[in-house]
Structure 1
Amino acid sequence: MRLAFLTINSDAWGGSEVLWVKTARLALQQGHSVLVSMFDFEELPEPIQELKHLGAEFYFRRRYYPALPERLKKKVKNRLSAGKQLKTYHDYLIDYKADRIFFNLGGGDEIARDEQDMLVFVKQTNIPYFIFCHSLSIVPDTNERLNENLKISYRKAERVFFTSNMQVQMLRHQLADELANAQVVSHPVNIAEPQVLKSTQYAIVNFAIIGVLTIRHKGQDVALKALSGKEWKDRSFVLNIYGKGQDEGYLKKLIAYYGLEDKVRFRGYEKSMERIWEENHMLLIPSRQDSGPITLFEAMCCGRPAVGTRMGAIPDYLETGVNGVLCEPFSYQSFADALESAWQQKDKWEEWGQASLRMIQERYDFHPEQTMLNYIISEN
């Protein structure tokens, strides 16, 4: 089968890229042909480079639309050179003779908002296509034209994938539509074998926040404010922040403002989740906007408890008093109270960690790329 994977995320790599890349790789390994269409980043992440090595065909799109004069100039040039080369991903998809198309979206409305030519394409195409939505705004968009276009796009899709039940409910609420073809799927985890990892004792508690340093989504500043409270001044703890991103400079200023220089460490990227959880005792997820945070699932696979906000799939896997503490998002005080509650129950962390491992083993699909590929190639 000839499969096309089109991603419109503005970052070359992140949690939202993992599943489609693994699905594409599995498709190649099983003998399917694969076309990948993505923005023309200066450097391809290693997992995407691997798709090239396995024989995937690539079509790179401009990352930003040029200014009007340049667009007009390009349009004239395209007319003069008509037939000489393909100009749009529509041409590539048609010329490629794709049997299935997989749209990987950062936000649920991008198929109707960010690339109008994509909307035109899905309205016209007879090629079966699938949509994967990773993130949705908690505030519904009431733009009637946008929502009608979204309904058209989603209803025509064979399936619309999400990583949490909350996302499905939020989109149904926004569209006032049942969205009967919605399907919740799991994310791949970077863990060789789920097990409770041994860690250092609690003489100094190590908290971990893992993810891109963008406070609008991941809310690292929420944790910093919570840890700046007077009750934390004489407590023995370290916060390890893993990841890189545009808000690193701001977070460093915030750390200095709150006097947390001796308590917070920036650790950059760490490929080995086992290494992270051999060192850390608890995951903090102060997210303002999230879908299916892989970091939570990986922490659970290593037998670690968490404190997190009620966003995306977090409430599907985090239960207060069972494997951590769940709190409301968009509230500094709510997260501070949850963290304080967890601290006062340190004697239960080992029990919570064991519950995390049991829960993830019982509820999680550890081969989501095979599940996803089965959906794609089996639909009529």
Structure 2
Amino acid sequence: MVSSCPEAWGGSEELWAGAALHLKAAGHEVQAFKTNVDYQHPRILGLHAAGCQVTDLEQLPALRTRLLNRLLPYHRQYSRRRLAQQVLRRGLLAFQPGLVLVSQGSNFDGIPYAQVCQELGLPFVLLAQKAVDFFFPPWYEREVIQAAYRAARHCYFVARHNLELTQFQLGQQLPAASVVWNPYNVPFHSESPLPSITPEATIRLACVARLEVLDKGLDLLLQVLSQDKWRNRPLQVTCFGSGADRQALEEMTAMLRLGDTVRFAGQVSDVQAIWQSHHALVLPSRNEGLPLALVEAMLCGRPAIATNAGGIGEILVDNETGFLAESASVAALDQALERAWRHRTDWQRLGSAAARHARATVPTDPARHFSEKLRSLALV
């Protein structure tokens, strides 16, 4: 297992880690290679406890790290990537795996690790957790990326949108490609009654997302809420999550004088508890795979107001399980939120429909399902 996630842990890593645990339990030897490892993180501790070795691809000597940090940003990034490739090459040569999974936070960031597999003649598969509409492969890396996708034994995506977009961006078909599901952090049967909605009741929306505006678009939501009509309605939005843009979003909230409407609750571990006190999910994303927050909200019986980004429209049925904004823009999000507001007395029915639709669509154990796919490919 190779993860290109630059954070200590990200939602994009839940699938490979869950699959690793299932494979280990089935008697397979599993090693993981990841950037920026926090050896005290609960997920890393869980992998170690199960007998899965985890290697940090960026364990550099302190002197070399200080020297790299003095270089220009591009050269520093390039050098760190080359060193990570060297660490991976040594690890794979020692381990000699029957199959390597390269898990990417997007759809191109794990290619340097796929290159190592190609050079060593090891079979590998690619997993892409997101694709961005406006980001094509850089011209100087295009042929390398195309070759890696052609060489992969299989290419997995978490949304049909991401698969098709990647084909457009590469200018080539991916015949050995399919869609898989990420694990979710609520029980499969977790639907609960919607908090009461009366004409006088305050409607509580939850935005469950990383606090990063490039992908999650929370700045769009704040602009919508700054309109007088929303200021004058009994509406509160709680933002759950962490991220690099928290300070910027809090300052924007203060500038727009939205302190009575918007609050930031940070990262929470009990996702199901969010839906005990909130009526619906709002998700103003610009770029997505298929967000866990949406699947979890639906399983808990909550409708969603979300933009048509990534695979969101593949599971959210407009006016049946929630309200879909045509695009990630202030105007489109405002229109979807307005429709939702007018039909808020129907949210209990929409939430129940969302739960039924989610249970009919997602597997009960996505990580086990994915591990079985990997096992079959390793036997080819």
TM-score by length of 2: 0.89
Q: What is aligned with 1:190?
A: 185
Q: What is aligned with 1:76?
A: none
1:13 aligns with 2:12: no
Deviations 1:86-140 (A, max 9, x none): 962111111112111110111211234xxxx535423323222111111222025
Is the Cα contact below 8 Å between 2:6 and 2:36 reproduced in 1?
no
Report SS of the residue matched to 1:33. Answer: coil
Q: What is aligned with 1:149?
A: 144
Is the Cα contact below 8 Å between 1:287 and 1:329 reproduced in 2?
no
Q: What is aligned with 1:61?
A: 57
Q: What is aligned with 2:82?
A: none
Deviations 1:299-350 (A, max 9, x none): 0001100011111110001122111111133311110111111101112111
Q: What is aligned with 1:296?
A: 294
1:242 aligns with 2:240: yes
Q: What is aligned with 1:305?
A: 303
Report SS of the residue matched to 2:254. Answer: helix
**Per the alignment, do residues 63 and 307 of structure 1 end up closer, same or farther by CA in structure 2, a change over 3 Å counting?**
farther
* Cα distance in 2, alignment partners of residues 366 and 335 from structure 1: 31
Q: What is aligned with 2:92?
A: 93
Is the Cα contact below 8 Å between 2:31 and 2:52 reproduced in 1?
yes
Question: Once superposed, which parts of structure 1, at least 4 consecutive aligned residues long, lie more than 6 Å away?
Answer: 67-72
Q: What is aligned with 2:131?
A: 136
Tell me the CA shift for residue 40 of structure 1: 3.5
Is the Cα contact below 8 Å between 1:187 and 1:368 reproduced in 2?
yes
Q: What is aligned with 2:360?
A: 362
1:103 aligns with 2:102: yes
* Cα distance in 1, alignment partners of residues 56 and 196 from structure 2: 49
Q: How does 1:235-274 map to 2 (within 5 A)?
A: 235-274=233-272
* Cα distance in 2, alignment partners of residues 350 and 69 from structure 1: 55
Tell me the CA shift for residue 69 of structure 1: 7.3
1:163 aligns with 2:142: no
* Cα distance in 1, alignment partners of residues 181 and 15 from structure 2: 9
Q: Percent identity?
A: 26
Q: What is aligned with 2:80?
A: none
Aligned with residue 35 of structure 1, among 10, 31, 34: 31
**Per the alignment, do residues 349 and 208 of structure 1 end up closer, same or farther by CA in structure 2, a change over 3 Å counting?**
same
Deviations 1:124-166 (A, max 9, x none): 2322211111122202526444232122111111111100000
Q: How many residues align?
A: 359
* Cα distance in 2, alignment partners of residues 139 and 373 from structure 1: 32
Q: How does 1:214-229 map to 2 (within 5 A)?
A: 214-229=212-227
1:52 aligns with 2:48: yes
* Cα distance in 2, alignment partners of residues 145 and 248 from structure 1: 34
**Per the alignment, do residues 69 and 188 of structure 1 end up closer, same or farther by CA in structure 2, a change over 3 Å counting?**
closer
Tell me the CA shift for residue 195 of structure 1: 3.8
Q: How does 1:340-351 map to 2 (within 5 A)?
A: 340-351=338-349
TM-score by length of 1: 0.89
**Per the alignment, do residues 155 and 336 of structure 1 end up closer, same or farther by CA in structure 2, a change over 3 Å counting?**
same
Q: What is aligned with 2:78?
A: none
Structure 1 unaligned blocks of 5 or more: 73-85
Tell me the CA shift for residue 205 of structure 1: 0.7
Tell me which moved more, 33-42 or 212-221: 33-42
Report SS of the residue matched to 2:327. Answer: coil
Q: What is aligned with 2:74?
A: none
**Per the alignment, do residues 144 and 295 of structure 1 end up closer, same or farther by CA in structure 2, a change over 3 Å counting?**
same
* Cα distance in 2, alignment partners of residues 326 and 128 from structure 1: 40
Tell me the CA shift for residue 44 of structure 1: 4.0
* Cα distance in 2, alignment partners of residues 29 and 340 from structure 1: 49
Aligned with residue 124 of structure 1, among 110, 119, 130: 119
RMSD: 2.2
Tell me which moved more, 250-259 or 186-195: 186-195
Deviations 1:211-234 (A, max 9, x none): 211111111111111111111122
* Cα distance in 2, alignment partners of residues 253 and 109 from structure 1: 33
Letter of the 1:92 partner, please give it: G
* Cα distance in 2, alignment partners of residues 232 and 213 from structure 1: 22
* Cα distance in 1, alignment partners of residues 249 and 307 from structure 2: 20
* Cα distance in 2, alignment partners of residues 119 and 128 from structure 1: 9
Letter of the 1:91 partner, please give it: R
**Per the alignment, do residues 269 and 156 of structure 1 end up closer, same or farther by CA in structure 2, a change over 3 Å counting?**
same
Q: What is aligned with 1:80?
A: none
Q: What is aligned with 1:83?
A: none
Report SS of the residue matched to 2:8. Answer: coil
* Cα distance in 1, alignment partners of residues 364 and 50 from structure 2: 23
**Per the alignment, do residues 322 and 35 of structure 1 end up closer, same or farther by CA in structure 2, a change over 3 Å counting?**
same
Letter of the 1:101 partner, please give it: V
